[in-house]
Structure 1
Amino acid sequence: MTKNNPVKVYLVTGFLGAGKTTLLNSLLQQFSTLRNIVIENEFGKVNIDASLVSAQVDDVYELTSGCICCSLDNDLLEVLGNILQLEDRPDQLFIETTGIADPGNIIGMFSMPEVKAHYQLVSTICVVDAENVEERLEQVTEVGKQLSCADVIVLNKVKGLPVPALLRLQQLLEEVNPLAFITATEDGCVRVSDMQPRERIGRDQAPPVASVKTAHKINTVLFESPHPFDLNMLVFVLDLHFNMYSEQLYRIKGYVAVPNDPQKYLVQSTGKYLHILPVGPWGDVTPASTLVFIGKELKTATIERILKPAQKESVG
């Protein structure tokens, strides 16, 4: 590839034993005509499957001394820098995280200007085991965070699962993350076309259910308002509360209107990063604000109270 083209990045997450490496192998086989590099992050992991390395990967970087979502931020940045120094840059980079990773900070890292200039995060993929995803959600906080950060959720190991049980699991995953595209597989084999994020927030689409309550305590709150936001105040209140309640508030995504501004603004947060960027005019759509909050035991009244100081009475 030319040095002017950003390296496309796929982030693969999921709890221990969910089938991340199998899914990664499936993707690499389909991308075999491209130059691919893998960053593998597992505690104490020596290597990934030898046939995977020799057949579909041009190079593998192993980070085994810690989790790249926290203690190895600098190590990951160093590897990303080393990749850019290669004589033949890769077309694509695949990052497989440790099973207990909170991927939010990794996602945020790819929004940093110095990283975004050379890398494009295409999709965050979370693999879950159909046999135990409900139990894991109740027991392990990181599983909820992995699911809430995903663009695509792969419900793996569904072979033999009765149709009613499969539909119930898909509904559960939609409740945990109404923003994600969900697909099911028996053996981790997926189509590349299914790994591209789908836009789930739009004025012409049905909104997610507000204030979904589930046994695992992860829920979604949908905030909709015809009123615009003061952009500076919105950044302040979201950044303040997202950092203050990082263990409870996992993700924010949506669009907001700003007074006297024809642009609509995309709001996104993952990990410790918050971004609000203009994404084009509203066109024929009446400007309005729609935000989705995903987290643990969130309350609609609390979200409304947090946002109220940043709202204006009407669109200018």
Structure 2
Amino acid sequence: MGKDERVKVYILTGFLGAGKTTVLNSLLRQFSGHNNIVIENEFGKVNIDAGLITEKIDQLYELTSGCICCSLDNDLLEVLGNILQKEERPDHVFIETTGIADVGNIIGMFHMPDVQRHYELVSTICVVDAENIFERLQQVPEAGKQLSCADVIIINKIKQLAVPQLIYLSQQLEQMNPLAFITTSEDGFVPLKELHFPEKSIGATIAPVAPVKHPHKVNTVLFESPEAFDLNMLVFVLDLHFNAYPDQLYRIKGYVRIKDTPERMLVQSTGKYLHIQPAGEWGSATPSSTLVFIGKELKTPTIQRILTPALRK
């Protein structure tokens, strides 16, 4: 199946009360005239958010009594399979996760070959409440994981924020996830063009920013090396530590140099999924490895110690 024929998927995440459903309504309004399906997840037995969707959709799937990032993995895959059986495939699928979701596992599903053949994950959007995001980061680890997995971060409800506060908040969020594009909204409206940025350069300088009043503990470590990795050892050390420390290591992304191959390899990990796949020739660029690690209280020496055994000697 050609890429253009795949169903385009948007994942909306963010902590409770951030404004995810408002953003969803805004997107549906801008995609009016298309065949749109929404998958709603609520942790309780009754999905309140489903009643707040005001825009026209072609079908709504509700997953309740659990979180699709963990206990409802199979339910989500079943829904994705059912969608493919419809007489007319949709143009877009919007997945709104519960506010306490660790969205990494959901993203990982869309990197599975059987799912990738039919679905294209366009963007993972994290909505944050401008007034209380730092408190949320202190209270629950899921808020940090949601931010770390996002392609786009929407700072919502900015009306009460002074310009210097908004700039400071943007800087802090960029430090937490330098891979994401950050935009703002007063009432949940975000133009579609702001959700389709080209990929940011991996390995861009991670500049120091003044510490927050209440440390959020989520940080980024950049690893760079001209040496080539042994692919099997790299898979082993990353998989081992990613599964051993899921509450500390949230996300890995970057390109690496592998011995005995002219291709660069793309490394991505979210939730319980790790993917390493060819990403084309290096071209005029000098082959080297650049990896971004996002997590809680990560230390550069620790990351270097993890990766050193996988470097070719």
Identify the TM-score tier after normalising by the shorter chain: over 0.9
Amino acid corresponding to residue 208 of structure 1 in structure 2: I
Task: Give the aligned partner of residue 117 of structure 1.
Answer: 117
> For residues 48 and 291 of structure 1, what CA distance do their matches in structure 2 show?
39
CA contact (8 A) 1:151 1:180 kept: yes
Task: Give the aligned partner of residue 275 of structure 1.
Answer: 275
CA contact (8 A) 1:180 1:197 kept: no
Task: Give the aligned partner of residue 70 of structure 2.
Answer: 70
Partner deviation per Cα, 1:98-143 (whole Å, 9 max, x = no partner): 0000000000011111111111111100000001001101111100
Distance 1:294 1:233, change over 3 A: same
> For residues 5 and 305 of structure 1, what CA distance do their matches in structure 2 show?
44
Amino acid corresponding to residue 207 of structure 1 in structure 2: T
Give TM-score, length-normalised by structure 2: 0.94
Residue 208 of structure 1 aligns to a residue in which SS? coil
CA contact (8 A) 1:176 1:294 kept: yes
> For residues 312 and 187 of structure 1, what CA distance do their matches in structure 2 show?
52
Deviates more, 1:259-268 or 1:17-26: 259-268
1:115-154 correspondence runs (5 A): 115-154=115-154
Residue 50 of structure 2 aligns to a residue in which SS? coil
Shift of 1:259: 2.0
CA contact (8 A) 1:39 1:96 kept: yes
Task: Give the aligned partner of residue 95 of structure 1.
Answer: 95
Task: Give the aligned partner of residue 47 of structure 2.
Answer: 45
Q: Which runs of 5+ in 1 are unaligned?
A: none
Shift of 1:230: 0.8
1:80-229 correspondence runs (5 A): 80-202=80-202, 206-209=204-207, 215-229=215-229
Amino acid corresponding to residue 308 of structure 2 in structure 1: K
The alignment covers a number of residue pairs equal to: 309
Q: Which runs of 5+ in 2 are unaligned?
A: none
Shift of 1:212: 9.4
> For residues 173 and 140 of structure 2, what CA distance do their matches in structure 1 show?
15
The RMSD of aligned alpha carbons is 2.0
Give TM-score, length-normalised by structure 1: 0.93
Amino acid corresponding to residue 146 of structure 1 in structure 2: Q
Partner deviation per Cα, 1:12-64 (whole Å, 9 max, x = no partner): 00011100000001111111121100000013214624662xx4310000111
Task: Give the aligned partner of residue 304 of structure 1.
Answer: 304
> For residues 135 and 105 of structure 1, what CA distance do their matches in structure 2 show?
24
CA contact (8 A) 1:229 1:259 kept: yes
Amino acid corresponding to residue 205 of structure 2 in structure 1: P
Partner deviation per Cα, 1:133-184 (whole Å, 9 max, x = no partner): 0110111110000000000000000013111000010011011111100001
Distance 1:229 1:2, change over 3 A: closer
> For residues 175 and 47 of structure 1, what CA distance do their matches in structure 2 show?
31
Amino acid corresponding to residue 128 of structure 2 in structure 1: V
1:25-44 correspondence runs (5 A): 25-42=25-42, 43=44, 44=46
CA contact (8 A) 2:25 2:53 kept: no
